[in-house]
């Protein structure tokens, strides 16, 4: 006798006023299966998961979960599943142990079973030492793991998780997936939403969503096969010389610089790109990012991508525009940035990586002149960040994790506001705004309010607002979180174009693949800079011949922890 599906949805959709949050979704989830729902912010992932969890009623189609119809059996479904929302659903004034006890009480977990379940979950999540700590005092990664434990305490047959790893560092993501692997091994079905394409490879099947509609559904192997022959690698020439030739070809969806002299290209058809004499394109095995890029690409290119080299030639002299010497920042007894020394030259892209709480954002705020160092010194564009902070801020652009735009203003009004705030002369306003809007690909998006724009357009607008005054240094704090691969690729093309014009760029990211777009990497942990240099050099320092960015990231963290234990 074949098993019954845990979830059975057909033609599922949800209308909000005049738009669909999801439309025409067919999905079956079987016992013990892990299904990843993959897409950028605004793709409809949360809406779909809330329909599957019987929180939202569908406007169209039908759906049964655990044998119950979501319309008539919502209470029974919610009592049996584990549902983890994007926001933290725990009580920050309760301790770890108290949160678990509360979750067990409202789920009617028998007292005889609670103790053994609690101990097993805390051990699996590595939270045993933190039982007495308030939830509000935990790191982001720990809070995610505790929320997952709270949703496992009643041993549900089905877990529905809305972006469980959003905003956490790669190390915490790996630990979360260990917990999910254990849940799958125990026979639970898991449906999770994510904007991290690499997490799709951990799924049995993947549903790609864009603008509320399904793009594709299949195993990771099937989806990669669908893009095979449409992804190429080009090596052997300076990438900048190739970009114009690729940009002129309508069949090219996007292309990205990789480490060294390599370009990676995604195409609309299987015909290889046309290259100058002496160069050849080699078919590459598609990643899930390539798959999404190919599946979501419009039939025709909507707007040309920015040219990467519009400024000084590659051999132009570069001056040091950021210099920190033993920079330290303490908050009471807590040291957020600890004795950091680094320098960045004009035209260089420095990627800052590290776990949550490593000190990356605090370091950027010091270099922006927003926080004075408690010890050491730092200069940006020749000005001391502590004594000449106003001069520093006039020469930098800063894009925070949460885009600091005004949602009730239009794109053009935001650009005008930031241009005036940065001191752009009134007579130059129109020309400056038109130039950055064109560079960021914002043509036609100037008259809608920011609240009505997609996440990808808001991202490019935030960057345009940060560069409208032509800064010497640009700080980007997790600028690509939650956007689709094609938008992220385009954003990095903008970063490359700015660096080519001589702008120094410092960027933080949890997408480790993006580290290959940087000239150098700085790895931070516990406020310290534990490694600094090009990716190839850091790989050699670990004694590795070849390694992924994740291997390097985790290798230095493991080495640092081993040194701390030895001390």
pLDDT digits (tens, 9 = 90+) for 142-158: 888 899 999 999 999 99
Q: What is the pLDDT of residues 232-288, one digit of tens each?
A: 998 866 666 677 788 888 899 988 877 667 888 999 988 888 888 778 889 999 999
Report the candidate in 232, 237, 261 with the shortest Cα–Cα distance to residue 249: 232
Phi, psi of 479 (to 5 degrees): -75, -15
Going by pLDDT thresholds of 50, 70 and 90, the confidence category of residue 160 is: very high
Pair 449, 408: CB distance under 8 Å: yes
Name the helix (H) or strand (E) containing 375.
strand 375-380
- Write down the pLDDT at residue 387: 94
Three-class SS state of 477: strand
pLDDT of residue 522 exceeding 70, the answer is: yes
* Tokens coding 259: 């480490």
- pLDDT score recorded for residue 206: 96
What's the confidence (pLDDT) of residue 388? 95
Query: What's residue 311's pLDDT?
Result: 41
Given a cut of 70, whether residue 3 has pLDDT beyond it is yes
The side-by-side arrangement of strands in the sheet containing 68-69 is 19-29, 7-16, 60-65, 68-69
The residue with greater pLDDT, 397 or 447, is 397
Instruction: Provide the 3-class DSSP secondary structure of residue 336.
Output: strand
In the block, residue with structure tokens 């490593």: 358
pLDDT value at 421 more than 60: yes
The pLDDT assigned to 271 comes to 85
Residue ranges with strand state E in 102-249: 158-162, 189-194, 205-210, 213-218, 231-234
63 pLDDT band, cuts 50/70/90, is: very high
Is the pLDDT score of 224 beyond 90? Answer: yes
């Amino acid at each position: 006798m074949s098993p019954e599906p845990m979830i059975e949805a057909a033609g599922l959709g949800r209308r909000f006023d005049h738009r669909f949050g999801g439309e025409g979704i067919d999905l079956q989830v079987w016992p013990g299966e892990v299904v990843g729902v993959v897409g950028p912010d605004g793709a409809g992932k949360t809406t779909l998961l809330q329909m599957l969890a019987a929180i939202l009623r569908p406007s169209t189609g039908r759906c049964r979960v655990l044998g119950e119809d979501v319309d008539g059996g919502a209470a029974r479904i919610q009592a049996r599943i584990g549902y983890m929302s994007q926001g933290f659903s725990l009580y920050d004034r309760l301790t770890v142990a108290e949160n678990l006890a509360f979750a067990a009480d409202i789920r009617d977990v028998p007292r005889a079973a609670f103790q053994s379940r609690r101990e097993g979950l805390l051990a699996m999540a590595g939270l045993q030492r933190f039982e007495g700590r308030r939830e509000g005092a935990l790191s982001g990664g720990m809070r995610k793991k505790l929320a997952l434990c709270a949703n496992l305490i009643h041993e549900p047959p089905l877990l529905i998780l809305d972006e469980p790893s959003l905003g956490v560092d790669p190390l915490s993501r790996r630990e979360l997936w260990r917990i999910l692997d254990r849940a799958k091994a125990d026979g639970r079905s898991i449906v999770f939403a994510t904007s991290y394409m690499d997490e799709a490879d951990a799924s049995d099947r993947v549903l790609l969503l864009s603008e509320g509609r399904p793009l594709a559904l299949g195993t990771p192997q099937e989806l990669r096969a669908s893009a095979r022959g449409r992804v190429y690698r080009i090596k052997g020439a300076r990438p900048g010389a190739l970009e114009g030739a690729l940009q002129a070809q309508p069949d090219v969806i996007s292309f990205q610089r990789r480490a060294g002299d390599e370009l990676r290209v995604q195409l609309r058809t299987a015909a290889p790109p046309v290259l100058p004499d002496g160069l050849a394109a080699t078919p590459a095995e598609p990643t899930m990012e390539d798959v999404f890029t190919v599946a979501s690409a419009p039939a025709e290119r909507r707007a040309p991508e920015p040219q990467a080299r519009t400024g000084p030639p590659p051999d132009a002299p570069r001056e040091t525009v950021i210099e920190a010497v033993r920079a330290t920042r303490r908050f009471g007894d807590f040291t957020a940035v600890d004795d950091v020394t680094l320098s960045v030259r004009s035209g260089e892209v420095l990627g800052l990586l590290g776990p949550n709480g490593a000190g990356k954002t605090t370091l950027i705020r010091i270099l922006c002149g927003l926080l004075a160092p408690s010890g050491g010194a730092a200069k940006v564009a020749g000005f001391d960040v502590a004594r000449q902070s106003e001069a520093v801020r006039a020469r930098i652009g800063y894009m925070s994790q949460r885009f600091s735009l005004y949602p009730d203003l239009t794109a053009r009004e935001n650009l005008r506001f930031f241009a005036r705030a940065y001191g752009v002369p009134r007579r130059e306003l129109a020309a400056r705004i038109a130039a950055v809007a064109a560079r960021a690909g914002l043509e036609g998006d100037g008259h809608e309010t920011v609240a009505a724009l997609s996440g990808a357009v808001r991202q490019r607008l935030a960057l345009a607002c940060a560069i409208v005054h032509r800064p010497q240094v640009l700080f980007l704090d997790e600028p690509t979180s939650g956007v689709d691969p094609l938008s992220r690729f385009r954003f990095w093309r903008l970063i490359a174009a700015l660096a080519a014009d001589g702008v120094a760029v410092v960027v933080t990211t949890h997408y480790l693949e993006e580290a290959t777009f940087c000239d150098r990497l700085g790895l931070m942990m516990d406020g310290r800079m534990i490694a600094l240099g090009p990716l190839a050099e850091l790989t050699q320092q670990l004694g590795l011949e070849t390694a992924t960015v994740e291997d390097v990231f985790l290798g230095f963290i493991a080495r640092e922890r081993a040194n701390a234990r030895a001390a």
